[in-house]
Amino acid sequence: MKAAYLHIPFCEHICYYCDFNKVFLKGQPVDDYITALDREMKLTLEEAPAAELETIFVGGGTPTSLNERQLERFCDSINTNLPKAANLEFTFEANPGDLSKEKLQILRNAGVNRISLGVQTFNDELLTKIGRVHKAKDVYQTIDKIKSLGFENISIDLIYSLPTQTLGDFKASLSEAFSLELPHYSAYSLIIEPKTVFYNLLKKGKLPTPGEDLEARMYEVVMEEMEKHGLNQYEISNFAKPGYESRHNLTYWENEYYFGFGAGAHSYVNGYRRSNIGPLKKYIDSLNNGELPILDNHQVTLTEQMEEEMFLGLRKTSGVQISKFAQKYGRGPFEIFEKELNELLLKKWIEVSGDNIFLTKQGRLLGNEVFQMFLGVFD
């Protein structure tokens, strides 16, 4: 076990595209939730003891929506319960504008060494349209604060293919992002998920999205500009200077085990993919009763493991290592997925070089179609 994810579901506002497990902060049992998280960590580690964790990632929701006392208590709970390696990567997600120096100092004192900031765009009008409450100026002020407290490993998220967004506007946002000179950037295309404000608007025909062709061009621009600025594309949507790749997210893409703590969190532990109860009261009640808040516990079959190894591994630009796959499963990927891989080679969506199978540039543009080919192969 290398990694742990902890979920803080509280938000001071709800973004129109977000489908994560989250609730408005006001009036919520935040202290009870932190207590329940503490219990979940204890019970889980009793059930599945782990060696030192190499990565801890706190996401949400908005983890930094906790007040200073709650944040300090939560960080103490993490440090008390989770065994940590000396070279730990410890990430906290945050939003521009809601990070005080006091909160940052609490994170710094707790050993947090990586901050991931949800920026999305530098266009103030677009920020309002997608339900964000920060402005572009807040990004610069927040980054200055983060750097002033000694944090060097900083990442920002950008979203493209937003409603009414033009290519020129997106290029301007990229330019603003590069002016920050950060070691890591993530850039995702907008995905409209059910149970979101955007989904309801789309169904009513009231969401003017740029369309597939412009979305593909925006992704090409992302890849071109990141390369120009010395940022290596190590995964479909992630770019970093050498040594600043997200080790936590690589755990997922390399199909390795990880803990997931919190309401609605997911785990992959000892061959089982587990999801937690989502509603806060039910999650807290379960732990108050001394029970783990498990909603579903699925034993991953050998065929499912192999399928996941392919579609997760191909997200990385280094791709799937043939010898590692064979060592794990007793047979190489071409023995198991001969038809699928040969079809992808013929379409020039993948390439084989040495010991690696990886997506071509065209394959990256059509990533979801590639990954779909490895789902349900053995059904």
Which pairing describes strands 258-261 and 272-276: parallel, antiparallel, or unpaired? unpaired
pLDDT at 199 over 70: no
Q: Where are the beta strands (DSSP E) in the chain?
A: 3-8, 10-11, 23-24, 53-60, 84-94, 114-120, 153-160, 184-189, 232-235, 238-240, 258-261, 266-269, 272-276, 294-299, 320-321, 350-353, 356-359
Residue with tokens 């103490």: 76
Confidence tier at 250 by pLDDT (50, 70, 90): very high
Give the three-state DSSP class for 265: coil
pLDDT digits (tens, 9 = 90+) for 140-159: 999 999 999 999 999 999 99
On whether residue 263 sits in a domain, the answer given is no
On whether residue 32 sits in a domain, the answer given is yes
The alpha helices in 157-246, defined as continuous H runs, are 167-179, 197-203, 212-228
Indicate the residue among 234, 252, 270 that finishes a domain.
Answer: 252
Q: What is the CATH number of the domain that holds 352?
A: 1.10.10.920
Q: How far is CA 261 from CA 8, 73, 247, 323, in A?
A: 9, 16, 18, 33
On whether residue 18 sits in a domain, the answer given is yes
Mean pLDDT, residues 342-367 taken together: 96
How many structural domains does the chain have?
Answer: 2
pLDDT digits (tens, 9 = 90+) for 258-309: 999 999 999 999 999 999 999 999 999 999 999 999 999 999 999 999 999 9
Beta-carbon contacts of 372 under 8 Å, excluding residues fewer than 6 positions away, are: none
Higher-pLDDT residue of 201 and 230 is 230
Q: Are residues 32 and 161 in the same domain?
A: yes
Whether this model's pTM surpasses 0.85: yes
Q: Are residues 307 and 236 in the same domain?
A: no
- For residue 315, the enclosing domain spans 302-372
Both tokens of residue 73?
A: 């208590």
On whether residue 157 sits in a domain, the answer given is yes
